[in-house]
Chain A
Amino acid sequence: MSDPDEYFILRLYVAGQTAKAIAAFANLKTICEEQLKGRYEIEVIDLLENPKLAREDQIVALPTLVRRLPLPLRKIIGDLSDTERVLVGLNLLPRPKD
């Protein structure tokens, strides 16, 4: 589990204003407000505007949320509708034991 004072730098990669992109941003915003109020930063990157940025973070699927800080780097793909898995991906919840 993460330290409650940790600062989160998140990057959301999308390609235009697609339904998935809008859903992902809305879901992310809700989750962050609930869990990380005041200690997060979201940067939205539209790859249609700058396709070269996709290489920097090895983006394949969209939308992709990249947790740049705290380390290690984590990627969460999809529209972030499964809140529990997003929290696991952000390391805010322990990984469920199968």
Chain B
Amino acid sequence: MNIDIAGTSLELLPERAAFWRERSTLFVADTHWGKAAAFRAHSIPVPYGTTDNDLARLSAAIGKTNCRRIVLLGDALHAREGRAKKTFAAVAEWRARHADVEVVLVRGNHDRRAGDPPEELGIRCVDAPLYEAPFVFLHHPVASTQGYSLAGHTHPAVKLRGRGLQRATLPCFFFTPTVATLPAFGSFCGNAVISPEAGDRVYAVAGDEIVAIPTVY
């Protein structure tokens, strides 16, 4: 689904990523690589597969968009304990498959504890914010005077109600007049329900589709 924002347009993907065609850039927030590994290191037996599965989904988004660049909006790695060989091997293999794609990480709160991804992965790491008109890339969803903010951190989800006392909670893209928050990309992540106000725009990830959610209903 294409939406107009800050004078340009973004394509929202059900893979939980946003594509900026004008600069051939894919935005992804909160991958939390190695979260399951961090649990295992604490002797909590979480099975393998979450990181592999997430990387496959990221590859699918790259395949769909043919992007030349990926901007990770923070929390790439979950924790220092999650810096497992096996996790990095999986990320390295994924990186090798898309060697021609530039990857930039705008550091988030988890990255500060967990440290940057190993250099050989070829991920350029910078502190937030990163300016690229009309946008500001950062991790915490705060407004900026320099441009429209693209952020992550909160793992937004939207709670819906419908006739027949239906309820549903879905991960979503959340656009306020000054900040866009992307859904958490990592599948081993919880989420937090947002309270949109008039003027905000919300797009829910409903399985393999993006559905626009009216914010006043």
Q: Do A and B bind each other?
A: no
* Residues of chain B whose beta carbon lies under 8 Å from any beta carbon of chain A: none
* Residues of chain A whose beta carbon lies under 8 Å from any beta carbon of chain B: none
